[in-house]
Structure 1
Amino acid sequence: MKLGNAPDSLPTRGHAAKRRSIIDAAAAVFCREGFAGANIDLVAAEAGVSRQTVYNHHGDKERLFAAVVQEMTERSNAHAFDVLSTFPDDPADVESELTAFAVRLSASLMCRGEGGFLRKLVEAEGDRHPELFEVWRREGPGRIWSALAARFARLAYAGHLDIEDPDLAARQFLALVNVDLKLPLLFREPVSEETLQANAARAVRTFLRAYGRDRGPPPPAREA
């Protein structure tokens, strides 16, 4: 029997579960084969469904690719905003609490599967799909930068940091946290907790040289 005509191996799965399995399978195939090398038959085999099921859910390869990028961006954002909710809004020790936050953020943005998929696809396919990845840049990193900038603005307002441009500070913080992880993750090298901790500590120390306050304890927060 041809692969494209194979029946679904798990016919009892619900619509949402089957859709997720197709998205996960397509992400693996696009990441492994690239857009040009991927096809619906490979995705169907990876997901354990029929070729027609993939078409029923997502249509052709182009629409499936767009759906995968959108879904992975949404998942990555959900994890990132969970971490952003733990940002130290009123730190007793700015350096240690920002370092702990940076560890959590690195683990979410850089070390989860969704982030790895998106980085690889942007590098490999960004030139061929500029509109799609412009949407990703705006809805993914753009939203995270903006949310992080708002939190840094509050720390500066409360006197914990000395920041004139919170948007720039947020981008620089993310760049410092991520820069030393890009190469090992590119080559799929494991990143230990100790490595994440050391990387975050270096990043935060550098960040605080630019934006830290050294004029004694912060003043009391002003009332809104």
Structure 2
Amino acid sequence: MLAAAGHVFATSGLQGATIEQIAREAGLTRQAVYELYGDKNALFAAVVEHAEEQAYAAIAAAGASDADLDLKSWARKNYANLFDFVAEHPDALPLFQEAERTGNFALSRLRKRLALVYTEASGQRWAEFGVEPGRADTALVTMYFAMVESLVRLNWNGDAPDRDALIDLLTEFTIGGVLRLYSQAPEVIARVR
């Protein structure tokens, strides 16, 4: 039911989706949908909450694992995990964007929750390079997600570049960029810290 409703909300938006569409997609009657969730807004809230928890579980688990990976390998693995999550759950990002548009800040909450996981997991790795990002880590994690979201949604006017090439680009940009900032313009990170 939630997957069917998520697909309808992701493709039609909250305003455009109807209980009839959702019931048909789920193989249920309209009455069954009303009995389960009461109304479209309650169903939308349940779908968004489910998607947020599903995304958090999948993304946080990968972010917190593999303590033995160095910073670059860990970052690359996590970029790949984000690409995989979006590929495996194509309705998630449009659903989160619709939720944000309608005042349910699920994507913002998800980023904030994941920032805690990623900040903790990356802290020791950055320390090996002498980098102590402090609060800048939260900004970096936010940028990390925004870059992936932008690349996933980008219209490439033809075939998109190879997924691994994009992951390598993001990894090098992130790690190289922060290390360059820290060594050549440390005041930038210090002002955010």
Q: Provide the TM-score with structure 1 as the length reference.
A: 0.66
Q: Structure 2: which 5+ residue stretches go unaligned?
A: 184-193
| Match runs of 1:1-224 below 5 Å | 22-87=1-66, 89-91=67-69, 93-95=70-72, 97-108=73-84, 110-113=86-89, 117-127=91-101, 129-130=102-103, 132-133=104-105, 137-138=108-109, 140-156=110-126, 159-165=128-134, 167-176=135-144, 178-179=146-147, 182-185=150-153, 187=155, 192-211=163-182
Per the TM alignment, residue 111 of structure 1 is displaced from its structure 2 partner at its CA by 4.0
**Structure 1 residues without counterparts, runs of 5 or longer:** 1-21, 213-224
Larger Rg belongs to: 1
Q: Percent identity?
A: 22
1:81-116 deviation line (CA, Å, top 9, x unaligned): 2211325x455x543x23433433432554442xx5
Structure holding more helix per residue = 2
Matched residue type, 1:67: A
Asked which structure has the greater RCO (Cα within 8 Å, sep 6+), the reply is 2
Q: What is the TM-score with the length of structure 2 in the denominator? A: 0.75
1:38, distance to aligned residue in structure 2 (A): 0.6
Pair 44,36 (structure 1): closer, same or farther in 2 beyond 3 Å:
same
Number of residue-to-residue matches in the alignment = 180
Which amino acid is the alignment partner of residue 48 of structure 1?
G
RMSD between superposed Cα atoms in Å: 2.9
Give CA-to-partner distance per residue, 1:121-166, whole Å, 9 cap, x none: 4444534x32x22x5523x11110011112233335x54441141x
